[in-house]
């Protein structure tokens, strides 16, 4: 299947504008997700489920491979995730306000480097519209699905930094009923001033307010709080990462997603001048460094979802060796096809262990 995609399907898609090709893929997977019998058959064929699932955040992940945020921004096709072989799906980034994102063109492929640069700018339909879609997909509410669903939330572009906390809280409250876990995205390079929220004072206030809202909701409903994770940039210095980790411990955040895209242009991309966040193979080395640093600093106590340049068993295995418990794919799906998760999950299956 991978050979057919790379030799037949990908050349056709790569002759299209990158964003149009992405939208075509989203539409196709949306239709797939609506055909439940076909999804169940494909799930039987593609979803690798070792005898022992990965237990993390009080959830069970059938395998270690997830679909990263950015692919399904509006929660349209996540139900097809198991049919493609993914053990979890993260939708978003979702902002409270509907927004079109940055001007086009805003996505650029570099096939010779296995890389993508995007400056999308959190284009999405807004938290309330996406919550309505999830409610309909789930038959009115609840969290019944085959694999865990994460929801990634970010700051609305028109909201100034001093009002960011309330903006995140609006998104959290709109979407938390449908999420198995929530990821707080403060690390995209494509929304002005967003990365300033990674600074210790800003981050502490944001996470404190989200945690209190989470706990208050849990007490009211008589259930456990929804797991809360933070997604960080690969461009932070190690000292800045130390400050982030201290804040996460103080605010009892459940995990970290490392990393987002980079504004750096590592080899072999050093001559590329297109602005935006770089993902794919050139990001892999730095993401590994960040994941390993977090793992060593926390003694392995803080669960890490590793993202960045994962395209096959070797790169996924390296991320696990660095300290990640789960991995996520974005650019790897663009270059290797929609069923790339199956081969990676099969290769990682012997590593799976139970997490409490």
Rg (CA), the chain: 19
Q: Do the Cβ atoms of 276 and 106 come closer than 8 Å?
A: yes
Question: What token pair was written down for 342?
Answer: 């199956």
- Side-chain-side CA neighbours of 146 within 13 Å: the count stands at 20
Strands 59-61 and 255-258: unpaired
CA–CA separation, 216 vs 287, rounded Å?
A: 34
Q: Of residues 174, 188, 279, 287, which has the active-site annotation?
A: 188
Q: Which of 59, 62, 57 is nearest to 348 (CA)?
A: 62
CA–CA separation, 53 vs 59, rounded Å?
A: 9
Catalytic site includes residue 188 = yes
Buried b (16+ CB within 10 A) or exposed e, 285-314: ebbbbbbbbbbebbeeebbbbbbbbbbbee
Please give the positions annotated as active site. 188
């Amino acid at each position: 299947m991978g050979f057919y995609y790379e030799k037949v399907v990908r050349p056709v898609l790569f002759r299209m504008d990158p964003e149009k090709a992405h939208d075509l893929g989203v539409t196709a997977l949306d239709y797939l997700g609506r055909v439940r019998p076909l999804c169940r058959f494909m799930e039987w064929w593609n979803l690798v489920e070792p005898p022992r699932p990965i237990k993390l955040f009080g959830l069970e992940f059938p395998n270690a491979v997830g679909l990263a945020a950015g692919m399904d921004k509006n929660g349209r096709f996540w139900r097809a995730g198991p049919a493609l072989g993914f053990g979890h799906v993260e939708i978003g980034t979702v902002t409270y306000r509907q927004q079109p994102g940055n001007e086009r063109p805003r996505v650029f492929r570099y096939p010779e480097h296995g890389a993508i640069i995007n400056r999308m700018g959190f284009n999405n339909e807004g938290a309330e519209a996406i919550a309505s879609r999830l409610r309909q997909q789930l038959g009115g509410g609840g969290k019944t699905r085959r694999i865990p669903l994460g929801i990634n939330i970010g700051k609305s572009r028109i909201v100034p930094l001093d009002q960011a906390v309330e903006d995140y809280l609006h998104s959290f409250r709109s979407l938390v009923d449908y999420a198995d876990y929530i990821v707080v995205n403060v690390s995209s390079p494509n929304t002005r001033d967003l990365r300033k929220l990674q600074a210790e004072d800003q981050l502490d206030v944001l996470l404190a307010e989200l945690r209190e809202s989470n706990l208050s909701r849990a007490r009211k409903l008589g259930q456990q709080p929804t797991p809360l994770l933070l997604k960080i940039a690969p461009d932070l210095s190690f000292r800045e990462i130390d400050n982030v980790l201290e804040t996460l411990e103080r605010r009892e955040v459940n995990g970290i997603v490392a990393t987002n895209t980079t504004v750096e242009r590592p080899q072999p991309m050093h001559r590329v001048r297109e602005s935006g966040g770089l993902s794919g193979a050139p990001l892999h080395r730095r993401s590994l460094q960040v994941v390993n640093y977090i793992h060593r600093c926390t003694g392995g106590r803080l669960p890490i979802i590793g993202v960045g340049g994962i395209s096959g068993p070797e790169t996924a295995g390296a991320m696990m060796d660095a300290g990640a418990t789960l991995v996520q794919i974005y650019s790897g799906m663009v270059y290797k096809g929609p069923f790339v998760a199956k081969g990676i999950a099969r290769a990682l299956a012997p590593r799976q262990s139970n997490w409490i």
